[in-house]
Homo-oligomer: A and B are copies of this chain.
Amino acid sequence: MAFQEYFPLWNKLTLPQQQRIEKALRLRQEKEGSQIHGGDSDCTGLILVKSGRLRAYILSEDGREITLYRLLPRDLCLFSASCMLHSLQFDIMIETEEESVFWIIPPDTYRALMEESAAVANYTNEIMATHFTDVMWLMEQILWKSLDKRLASFLLEEAALQGKDDIRITHEAIGRHLGSPREVMTRLLRYFQEEGWVKLARGRVQITERAKLEQLAE
């Protein structure tokens, strides 16, 4: 399948617009754990995912991380092209969580399209609103929810993403997603194990009582 089928606005573009975007596009393939975007004055371009999974996160000065949202096939990421919008004044990092294939749309090409097409501009608005909703949800979690509830939510989400209840992930990686130290994660996971909700093994967390986690995450 080609770009045309992944980019929902394709049929709303004029032929010259379609040609411009086709000419500017680049397809990239990256192994698990590759840094795709990050750092201050970086303006990689828009990322449209063909296959695999990517993670958008922020990084504190002392190296702590927290996951903002995931990018799955057909997802478009704007914030890897923040130079495209004058008012976008923050930096995120993006890395692959699996081997991934994705297109990069150069920021200048996309910006020009947005300026001449109300359809592209409104689509961009909807994408930004989706990311905004994710981030607001995350902020409410951080502000009002205790870490055990957040861990339960995360494990359920991760099981859905990996398509199985036997999740392949380290305590350290969970800590990076939730913005907490590994030690705190290990302590909480052991508590979950004592309660019989999960079973821990090296590099794996297996959900054994899904109903309890769902109840806690509520």
Contact = CB atoms under 8 A, between A and B. Distances in A.
Interface string A81-113: 000011111100000000000000000000000
A137 B121 CA distance: 25
Interface in A107-161: 114-118, 120-122, 124-133, 135-140, 142-144
User: Number of contact residues on A: which range applies?
Assistant: 35 or more
Nearest to A88: B129
A12 to B, nearest CB: 12
A142 B127 CA distance: 25
B126 A125 contact: no
Interface of A: 58, 60-62, 64, 66, 85-90, 114-118, 120-122, 124-133, 135-140, 142-144, 179
